[in-house]
Each structure stands twice: as structure tokens, then as C-alpha cells.
């Protein structure tokens, strides 16, 4: 019997309890997972979890029988301090807290390694979608070349409503809030910060070096209009918020979060509503796509409980799946060197555009007084320099390359 604890009884924490309370994993794991404590500052009178509730973290910390803890609090503090103390006592910790992993991942993974414990966080990226563990085991034979993902369900829902139902951003956001997808303060989602933490974690796992999210340029979807959506349609594409990371031959890592034009030929183009999907390109396998529910109570709890089971199965032989080194910022490729094609809307004439980009693919007839065009693939710095020669640029969106 393995005694486990849950810290934080919010949406995901209560989902973890629900699964653990309703299922017996003995056949799958050879062990029973018994909830010993649930830590929350709130009371839950009458709830079936009530008998496990405590307000004192020390109950969990000082109980030697508790070997695995699910940190479901979110936020940095006190989640960091709690996780640190638990790992120092040799207790394994699992989490869905992408902010914590993306901020203190190197220290917490190091602590886990030093104390023969595990720190696992499958649920921090893609909710219930298995992606981190496949990267760390099934894809080990590959050099990962590129990652491109729809990593945020709320923004994908908003964009899907704009694309398929002609709602503008404000209407679609209101809908997302009414459906309970978007937070009342939706900034972390719509400004791209949530996706930024997730691509930072994916890139750190892919290349074994800590990719600091502060070094990842991040744009959200607040400025996307129905005109942009229509231009994309004319280019047989859709607009998606993409977390993107790649590595070049010199080992420099590039990462970015931005709305991108995605061709309908890409498997990511058909990923709609609150679903997430991550396409990983490996040198041996080529592309593989991981798809499913990226958020929500039971989908996220599904990944958390799987991590708890994994910890229980590796109590005496910690997996030490990864350790991230903090490296200098010079491991990142400067954005101006990254090659990309760009979709641009401009008030300049067709002739003026073709004088700057003779190979441009022009799209007109969407909005009076402007045209759109797609540039050839060029380093971003060179693109910027050429774009300065045009007038009235209303929008610019990177184009996701079809691999």
C-alpha cells in the first residue's frame, strides 16, 4: 500500500481525488494508492474527501508513510517551498503546475535527484495528453529537431469560434468565459503566457537544457481580427496560436509563441475547440502528433494520477528522467536569424510590394485600401528591413512551415 497526499483541492486536485477514490490500481501497479491527506485552506463539509482534509502542511511532511504527493495548488508560492521541502525529505512530487516547473525546474529536478525521489509533471503540458513521457522514453532514439504545438485550449476555442462561426475576438472570448474555459482574468491565456511556459518545458525536455521562458518572445491573439481570418482562408490556411521551438545545426535553440498562419495541409489546422496538439519532429521518426484534451478536471487528473503511479512503481529506483542545466542566454538563436515566411497586410500597392518582394504571393479583395501578401522564407532580420520600405502595415503573422 502506498500512502499519497494531495496539496490543493481545486478543480484538478478534486479530479485526482475522484480517480484515486474510485479506482483500485492494484492490478496495474501491484500497489494500492491510498489517499492519506488533502491539504487545503478551505473547508469541505459533507464532501466524501472531508475525512482526509488538513490545513497543516506538516501533517504530510512529517508522515513517513506518505511517499508521493500531488502538488495541485498552482502559482509559485508556497508551491515552490512545499515541493522543495517534500523532495528534501525524499518524497516524490508530481504536478500540473507549469509556472513552477518553467521557473524552478532545474532546482527541483536537481533536488529530486539528490534525494532519490522523482519530480514528474506530465500534466503541466497538454493536460491529459501523453507527451512528456513519450519524449523522454519512446523518442529517445531521435534527435528532436522541432516542436510545434497548439498548447492552450482557451485560445484555440476562441480562434475556432472566429474561424468557423464568424465571431469577433471579444464575442468569442465572452463565450469562452461563459463556458468556463477562460478565466475571468484571461490574460495568461490570450496573451500567450500559458503557452510560453509550456513550450519552455517541451524545449527543455527536448534538448536537456533549461529554456528560460523569459527568453521566449511571446505574442497572444488579442489583435487577431476577422479580416485576418478571411485572409488566411484565401490562403487555404487557418490562424492558430503556436508554441514553436527548434534547434539548428550549431545547437542554438529558437523558441517563440505567436499566432501563425497554418496551412490546411498541416495536421494542426484541424485541431479545433479546446483541444491541444503537439507535433514533434525527430530525425529518425519524422513527425508524430500528440492530440487530446489539454485542460479540464479529469483529463488533467488522468496525467497526474499516471505520474503518481509511476512514482509508486519507482520508489526505490528513482527514474531521474531529466536534469536541466541553466545555461547562458547565448544558447538561444537570436530571432532575427530565424528563417520564416511572413503574411503581411499593407496599404502599399501591389507594385510597391512586388518591388520589395518580387516572389510575394498577393491576396486582395478582403478589405478596401489594402492587400495581403506572403513573403518568401528569409531571416526575420532581413524581412524586417525589407518591410520598412512598405506603408501602413496592419498585421504580420508568421507562416508555419509544412515539414
Binding site per annotation, positions: 7-14, 98, 183
Among 71, 189, 310, 370, binds ligand HSE (CB under 6 A): 189
* HSE-up of residue 250 (Cα within 13 Å, Cβ side): 9
Q: Which residue has the cell 489539454?
A: 294
In the bound state with ligand HSE, the residue whose beta carbon lies nearer, of 196 and 211, is 196
In the bound state with ligand HSE, the residue whose beta carbon lies nearer, of 96 and 266, is 96
Determine if 266 is a binding residue for ligand HSE (CB under 6 A): no
In the bound state with ligand HSE, the residue whose beta carbon lies nearer, of 191 and 339, is 191
Among 83, 92, 103, 152, binds ligand HSE (CB under 6 A): 152
* Contacting range for ligand HSE; rule: CB under 6 A; set: 151-159, 203-211, 308-316, 325-333: 151-159
* Contacting range for ligand HSE; rule: CB under 6 A; set: 104-112, 149-157, 324-332, 390-398: 149-157
Run of H or E including 381? helix 380-387
Q: At what angle do helices 79-88 and 98-114 cross, to 10 degrees?
A: 20
Contact 20, 69 (CB under 8 A): no
The x, y and z cell numbers of residue 326, run together, are: 541553466
> From the candidates 3, 198, 240, 338, which is the catalytic residue?
198
Write out the binding residues for ligand HSE, residues 289-318 only, by CB under 6 A. 294-295
SS3 for 308-373 is HHHHHHCCCCCCCCCCCEECCHHHECCHHHCEEEEEEEECCCHHHHHHHCCCCEEECCCCCCCEEE
For the chain, what is the largest distance between any 2 Cα atoms, rounded to a whole number of angstroms?
Answer: 75
198 catalytic per annotation:
yes
* Contacting range for ligand HSE; rule: CB under 6 A; set: 21-29, 55-63, 148-156, 314-322: 148-156
Determine if 258 is a binding residue for ligand HSE (CB under 6 A): no
Among 40, 71, 99, 194, binds ligand HSE (CB under 6 A): 194
The x, y and z cell numbers of residue 316, run together, are: 526505490
Could you please report the per-residue DSSP string of 75-107? SSTTHHHHHHHHHHTT-EEEE--HHHHHHHHHH
d(CA 18, CA 112): 27
In the bound state with ligand HSE, the residue whose beta carbon lies nearer, of 96 and 375, is 96
Determine if 71 is a binding residue for ligand HSE (CB under 6 A): no
Residues in the interface with ligand HSE (CB under 6 A) total 7
d(CA 238, CA 199): 21
Determine if 97 is a binding residue for ligand HSE (CB under 6 A): no
Q: Using CB under 6 A as the criterion, which residues of the chain lie in contact with ligand HSE when the complex forms? A: 152-154, 189, 194, 294-295
Give catalytic residues, as residue numbers: 198
Amino acid at each position: 500500500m502506498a500512502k499519497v497526499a494531495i496539496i490543493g483541492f481545486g478543480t484538478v486536485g478534486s479530479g485526482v481525488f475522484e480517480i484515486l477514490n474510485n479506482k483500485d490500481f492494484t492490478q496495474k501497479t501491484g500497489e494500492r494508492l491510498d489517499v492519506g491527506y488533502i491539504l487545503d485552506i478551505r473547508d469541505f463539509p459533507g464532501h466524501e474527501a472531508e475525512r482526509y482534509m488538513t490545513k497543516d502542511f506538516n501533517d504530510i511532511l512529517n508522515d513517513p508513510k506518505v511517499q508521493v504527493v500531488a502538488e495541485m495548488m498552482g502559482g509559485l508560492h508556497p508551491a515552490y517551498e512545499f515541493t522543495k521541502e517534500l523532495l528534501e525529505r525524499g518524497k516524490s512530487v508530481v504536478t500540473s503546475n507549469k509556472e513552477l516547473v518553467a521557473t524552478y525546474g532545474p532546482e527541483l529536478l536537481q533536488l529530486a535527484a539528490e534525494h532519490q525521489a522523482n519530480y514528474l509533471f506530465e500534466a503541466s503540458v497538454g493536460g491529459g495528453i501523453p507527451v512528456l513521457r513519450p519524449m523522454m522514453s519512446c523518442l529517445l532514439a531521435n534527435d528532436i529537431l522541432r516542436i510545434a504545438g497548439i498548447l492552450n485550449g482557451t485560445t484555440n476555442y476562441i480562434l475556432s469560434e472566429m474561424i468557423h462561426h464568424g465571431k469577433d475576438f471579444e464575442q468569442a472570448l465572452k463565450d469562452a468565459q461563459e463556458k468556463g474555459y477562460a478565466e475571468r482574468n484571461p490574460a495568461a491565456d490570450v496573451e500567450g503566457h500559458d503557452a510560453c511556459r509550456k513550450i519552455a518545458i517541451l524545449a527543455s525536455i527536448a534538448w536537456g537544457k533549461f529554456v528560460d521562458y523569459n527568453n521566449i518572445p511571446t505574442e497572444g491573439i488579442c489583435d487577431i481580427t476577422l479580416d485576418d481570418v478571411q485572409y488566411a482562408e484565401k490562403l487555404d490556411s487557418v490562424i492558430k496560436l503556436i508554441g514553436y521551438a527548434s534547434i539548428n545545426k550549431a545547437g542554438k535553440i529558437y523558441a517563440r509563441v505567436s499566432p501563425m498562419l497554418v496551412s490546411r495541409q498541416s495536421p494542426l489546422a484541424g485541431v479545433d475547440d479546446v483541444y491541444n496538439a503537439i507535433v514533434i519532429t525527430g530525425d529518425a521518426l519524422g513527425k508524430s502528433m500528440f492530440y487530446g484534451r489539454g485542460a479540464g478536471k479529469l483529463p488533467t487528473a488522468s496525467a497526474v494520477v499516471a505520474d503518481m503511479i509511476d512514482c509508486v512503481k519507482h520508489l526505490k529506483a528513482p527514474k531521474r528522467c531529466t536534469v536541466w542545466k541553466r545555461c547562458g542566454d547565448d544558447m538561444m538563436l537570436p530571432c532575427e536569424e530565424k528563417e520564416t515566411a511572413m503574411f503581411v497586410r499593407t496599404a502599399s500597392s501591389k507594385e510597391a510590394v512586388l518591388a520589395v518582394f518580387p516572389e510575394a504571393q498577393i491576396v486582395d479583395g478582403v478589405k478596401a485600401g489594402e492587400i495581403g501578401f506572403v513573403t518568401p522564407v528569409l531571416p526575420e532580420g532581413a524581412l524586417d528591413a525589407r518591410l520598412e520600405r512598405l506603408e501602413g502595415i496592419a498585421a504580420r503573422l508568421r507562416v508555419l512551415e509544412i515539414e
